[in-house]
Amino acid sequence: MADDNFEPRIIAFCCNWCSYAGADLAGVSRLQYPPNILVIRVMCSGMVHPNLVIDALTKGADGVLICGCHPGDCHYLEGNLKAESRKDAIELMLEDFGLEPERFRLEWISASEGPRFAEVMREMTETIRGLGPSPYRQ
Amino acid sequence: MTVKLTINDNIAEVEEGTTVLEATEALGIKIPTLCYHKALSPYGGCRLCLVELDDGRQKRIQTSCVYPVQEGLKVETDTERVVKARKIVLELLLARCPESDEIKRIAKDLGVTETRIKKSTVHDEKCILCGLCVRMCEERMGKSVIGFANRGINREVIPPFDAESEICMGCGACAFICPTGAINPKDFCTRGITMLPSEFDLGVGPRPVVSIAFPQAVPNTPTIDKENCVYFQLGKCKMCEAVCEAGAFDFEQQEEIKELEVGAVVLAPGYEIFNPDLKKELGYARYPNVVSSLQFERILSASGPYLGQICRPSDGEHPKKVAFIQCVGSRNEENDYCSSVCCMYATKQAIIAKEHEPDLECTIFYIDLRAYGKEFEAYYNRAESLGIRYIRCRPSSIKEVPNKHNLRINYQASDNELVNEEFDLVVLSTGLRPPEEVNRIAETFGIQLDEQGFAATREFSPIETSRDGVYVCGPFSEPKDIPETVMEASASAAGAMTLLSEVRGTLITHKEYPPEKDVSGQEPRIGVFVCHCGKNIGGVADVPSVAEYARTLPNVVYAADSLYTCSTDTQEMIKEMIGEHNLNRVIVASCSPRTHEPLFRNTCREAGLNEYLFEMANIRDQNTWVHMSEPEKATKMAKDLVRIAVAKSRLLDPLYRGRLKVNNQALVIGGGMAGMTASLFLADQGFHVHLVEKEKELGGNFLHIRSLLNGTDPRQRLTETIDRVNSHPLIDVHLESTVTEAKGSVGNFETTITHNGDKTEVAHGAVIVATGATEYEPTEYLYGNNPRVITQHALEEWIADDNPELRNIKSVVMIQCVGSREEERPYCSRVCCSQAVKNAIVMKDRLPETDAYVLYRDIRTYGFLERHYREAREKGVRFIRYEVDQKPQVSPSQNGFRVSVLDHILNTNLNIQCDLIVLAPAIVPRGDADEVGKLYKVPLNQDRFFLEAHMKLRPVDFATDGVFMCGIAHAPKSVEESIAQASAAASRAATLLSKVELELDATISEIIDANCDGCAYCIDPCPFAALTLIEYMYNGEVKKTVERNEALCKGCGVCMATCPKMGIFVRGFKPEQLGVMVEAALEEA
């Protein structure tokens, strides 16, 4: 399964107020992680439609992350909790599309958690590397 | 004189005297090197920078770093011959330093993993004799501490005679410049190398001489520590200047003195932490594993010295047992006050530490656990349920266990046993002190200080100093927590605004922009500006190739790279290009939009382009900084990110901020001290106020307060306040009235006030909720069955009215926490401890022969209230602690009552005979709080007090814009705290009411009526209640759809992600915009 030349393509939807800032802090701190993640900035993790996640995975992304604020810290009070409540639905859809549940991950990363951002990105890349390319990837 | 030469078929024209390496790098062509540094003279030591030179006579391999350019020279940097030669050099280096990871990494990059040459047997040889350290020490530091010695295979870098050096100043520059980590000045410096302690990490970690104070510092610019800078001290070094591509260092900057003319001053110099070294017995500064609470805060921080790992300073090990010692520098003779915040920060730190490491054992040694703030008690209960151990004991000393650096603490356990326990780390919960400069500040501003050195404030006005026009906020006047500090901050602003209301807005200058170009219907014409950010991006990714790639993308009509896109000249260039190429979309690929988007948007606006036609690609913070060792992949990713930005920008629309007229009247609900104070602060600033009070008279709970801790009768103040409110021309008082209906939102509310069935409608821009709270009516301790069981308020009235009942009292028992801190009401009522202390002191003063007992759970006399607690003890009031599961038993007896309680110090049951029992009932929310909440769509917390937008940072705002709160409707608090919060609410409301128009966010949601079928899925999830379902007639049928209130929507997009029909979206983040970004991300460059 694991192909040495396989370079995972992962999309991370990051909340502008926390995880996106956490990603910036990882940079400011020069914390290195694999170049397999493309960050798309959103205003809130609660803004990401489940369809967008499924679209990404069925169009060839090997993994998708939604990163938001820790519970209680949401800039919009509870948008992150809305994102969390959609997690189960997304996982069910993954099953329907024949995708492993590990290809989607919801994470809370604050603006001060640069090390955690880098760690989550490393972990996700390794997980996806282990799973191999998405069956939808051409 | 310039010289022309050819490098890999590129023509280069450079100054005479330039080296081939410099000329090559200027073209963006990289040559590997280990011994070259642009700030030092070239040396040709590592021989990695080999290139092939052709001067027309012969072709030969040369080290490019020392070879000067010649007219007509041809340079090849990657011919087969060059690569082979470099590989041999690397094999030699590998043979010399087989253990060096750095050499192995460079070798691997160039395809060399093994060496055919016999490997050195010198253990852990890392020095490659590149001489960077020698040149650094000589050329930059002017010291020549180290130099080359011996020949051939014995050649090495050492100080003269390999002896320790007294000249070495321990600056560490040699170690800094060494590419392989081979040199350590500790080996030869006689001075001992010490790291500069980081002020922000409180010495737990080091910091460089040139540093940014802390990651969130504003401005986020590095400064030079002159005291420790080699240049400022010795006139040498200037390495910072040599490496800064932007040329940003200014060594000539001088301190400037500016004079400002102001009408009011707010002093907020904060506090200092008590220096725990003054408590020698606790071992701080002697034992490495005894740290202050602020140091532990840094240890816990993700950006702290251990990157969020809990480590102890002595050995970096993870502690298993941590002890917190409370009241270090508080509640003692020298610091006769409680620091107010330590109990909760210790609890917080223990909880966070356990979140990091669930097996960590945390023990908090305390005297009284002062969880008196809003929701603090619940937090404390949570800490206990997480297994955090609270021990009521103040350990007298800490001893270190030799060798292990563990710490031993002697304490008395709850069963009075003496215990000696070992901990791995001890955190001292250090108290708050006035700032060191306090005397200078007081002198400068002519204000008085109190006996502890904090700013003295006026009675009933905690934000006013002794001098008119000089306000104070935060712990400068008394130790306090964040919410109270923020309240006072707004309150002091209210003070200043009231004073200066006549000149409000007179110093504002408005910026003029050119008219905006209409780009509707135009095909996108995109300009892409790729930034090198000096070496930050350009040193990793191939920036010119990214710009070149951008030119190939659809609709991109212009792309360029620049050294610093944020520089003024590049900004001008962008504006010119927008005009020249008629650009209608602009993309900057550089750093983070979080820091630079406003700047570039402004540039677009200055060029007449709508600011929302701008997009950014973050190719530095999220690319070259995190993929530094993979330049090719970083280049690819930069292209990916540019492609994603281009895809989105093609679908960008010009956006406009909505504007809303603001009605500048206010509605204040509740005529207690809080509501009246807020009304006066607003009316004094010129805003019309409608004050609604349910009762027949103004005053609220304050009517029942008959004395203050200092003995003053507050009724005079109350009468003055009521008179001022009643006679103020801008305040309409509505007595015996309630609010019954409300419509509208921020800036434009319409509220119906009902009085005896008559309805009045008022229009207003803001609401302040100051509905207060009431007292719990006790059912316990014979209350209601016996007239000599009374509440503290009743006692206060007895005292004030000199009630004859009091004269024959021989013994009084006060029972605290009646109805508070229990399952049904799991919060602390905050004011009862000080009320009991106040009344007990008066009793003792009036009737010195009377015995006064206070039965309590924790005495929560925070801040300066502590002094009164001490005074009460000195006057003979007896304080006896009880546990919640062993409450005092009260039974009638012959001459009054018998109170039985377990004394924990004597460990025996005490029977107290008394003739008066005084209860401290809980403060309870009003039953009708819910109704007011529903009218303005604002929530209550689980204890049914009003819930603020943020517990710490927005303590007077509701999450709903335009609605504010103050007083005990928010949470129990003292009169002075209510007044501060009321002034704060007025201040917050005034920032809104002072505007003629409200400028709204542009990136808010928008409904696509054609797609919306009125299913209403989006309505409940909206955190701001900005959506409503409406119906209208369309083609003779009822059409349901959703309406968005543009004043309330914040653009979070929860609606968008909930909608199954693509019927609602957030501007700037449309589903199709995000969709094309995803598609672009999945394309290959």
Q: Give the tens place of pLDDT for each residue, B527-575.
A: 999 999 988 999 899 999 999 999 999 999 999 999 999 988 899 999 9
Q: Once rounded to an integer, what is the mean pLDDT over residues A37-45?
A: 97
Min Cα–Cα distance to chain A from B1022, Å: 8
Is A37 within a domain?
Answer: yes
Q: Do A24 and B626 touch (CB under 8 A)?
A: no
The answer to whether residues B976 and B969 touch, using CB atoms and an 8 Å cutoff, is no
pLDDT at B3: 92
CA angle B535, B537, B543 (to 5 degrees): 105
Token code pair at residue B355:
């979140």
Number of domains in chain A: 1
Structural domain including A60 reads 10-131
Of A25, A48, A52, Cβ closest to residue B215: A25
pLDDT at A7: 93
DSSP per-residue letters across A14-44: EETTTHHHHHHHHHHTT----TTEEEEEES-
Pairing of strands B2-7, B74-76: parallel
Is A2 within a domain?
Answer: no
Is A1 within a domain?
Answer: no
pLDDT at B515: 95
By residue count, chain B amounts to: 1085
Of A31, A40, A82, Cβ closest to residue B1074: A40
Q: What is the biggest distance separating any 2 CA atoms in chain A, rounded to whole angstroms?
A: 44
Min Cα–Cα distance to chain A from B935, Å: 20
Question: Residue A30: is it exposed, middle or buried by C-beta count within 10 angstroms (0-12/13-18/19+)?
Answer: exposed
d(CA B20, CA B10): 13
Q: What is the CA radius of gyration of chain B?
A: 36
Q: Which of residues 489-508 of B touch A (CB under 8 A)?
A: none
The answer to whether residues B60 and B38 touch, using CB atoms and an 8 Å cutoff, is no
Token code pair at residue B515:
């008219």
pLDDT at B931: 93
Ranges of H-type helices in B215-313: 230-234, 239-243, 293-300
Residue B1082: list chain A partners with CB under 8 A. Answer: 9, 11, 56, 59-61
Residue type, B1036: G
Q: Give the tens place of pLDDT for each residue, B963-1000.
A: 999 999 999 999 999 999 999 999 999 999 999 999 99
Percent of chain B whose pLDDT exceeds 70: 100
d(CA B54, CA B793): 100
Residue B649: list chain A partners with CB under 8 A. Answer: none
- H or E element in which residue B815 lies: strand B811-818
Whether chain A has a CB inside 8 Å of the CB on B630: the answer is yes
Q: What is the CA radius of gyration of chain A?
A: 14
Instruction: Give the residue ranges of chain B where pLDDT is below 50.
Output: none
Beta partners for residue B430, in sequence order: B328
Is A5 within a domain?
Answer: no
Q: Which of residues 27-86 of A touch B (CB under 8 A)?
A: 27-35, 38-44, 46-52, 55-56, 59-61, 75-79, 82-83, 86
Best mutation site among B1048, B1054, B1084 for testing chain A: the one with the most A CBs within 10 Å? B1054
Residue A56: list chain B partners with CB under 8 A. Answer: 1078, 1081-1082
Q: Give the tens place of pLDDT for each residue, B428-441.
A: 999 999 999 999 99
Q: Which of residues 927-986 of B touch A (CB under 8 A)?
A: 959
pLDDT at A3: 60
Residue type, B870: R
Measure CA B1053 to chain center: 25
Mean pLDDT taken over chain B: 94
d(CA B929, CA B932): 5
Residue B215: list chain A partners with CB under 8 A. Answer: 25, 28, 112
Residue A71: list chain B partners with CB under 8 A. Answer: none
Beta partners for residue B422, in sequence order: B408
| pTM confidence score | 0.85
Q: Give the tens place of pLDDT for each residue, A80-104.
A: 999 999 999 999 999 999 999 999 9
Of A21, A28, A43, Cβ closest to residue B1066: A43
Phi and psi at B667, nearest 5°, equal -115, 130
pLDDT at A1: 46
Is A58 within a domain?
Answer: yes
Q: Determine if residue B799 is left, alpha or beta; phi over 0 gives left, psi from -120 to 50 gives alpha, anything else beta.
A: alpha
Is A3 within a domain?
Answer: no
pLDDT at B414: 78
Q: Do A82 and B628 touch (CB under 8 A)?
A: no
Is A90 within a domain?
Answer: yes
Q: Give the tens place of pLDDT for each residue, B716-728.
A: 999 999 999 999 9
Whether chain B has a CB inside 8 Å of the CB on A133: the answer is no
d(CA B381, CA B768): 32
Is A136 within a domain?
Answer: no
CATH of the domain at A20: 3.40.50
